[in-house]
Amino acid sequence: MTSWGRTEQKASRLLKELDADDLHDQLDAMRAYLKELTGSFGKIANRQWGRADNLAASLVVALGVGVLVGYMIRRGSE
């Protein structure tokens, strides 16, 4: 028997053993896992984005206070 014939037999046996319901269940499980994974990723990204917003606001406030203090010091030394 040629190698092509053996390959065809193995593929035929695999397809006979393949259960469509089992495959459907596995796909559903993978879909649920990916949904959970992307949901978790979204929550983490939102938290990190919130922290970045807090950092930006803190930097703007610090810059404003620095400019104000610098102005007051310069005005006081004149």
DSSP codes joined into one string, 1-14: --HHHHHHHHHHHH
Q: Given pLDDT bands bounded at 50, 70 and 90, which one contains residue 1?
A: low
Judged by DSSP in three states, 37 sits in: helix
Give phi and psi for 16, each to the nearest 5.
-70, -35
The mean pLDDT of 18-44, rounded to a whole number, is 83
How many domains is the chain built from?
1
Q: Given pLDDT bands bounded at 50, 70 and 90, which one contains residue 42?
A: confident
Whole-Å CA distances, 20 to 2, 31, 40 = 30, 16, 30
Judged by DSSP in three states, 68 sits in: helix
Q: Domain of 55?
A: 3-77
pTM strictly above 0.75: no
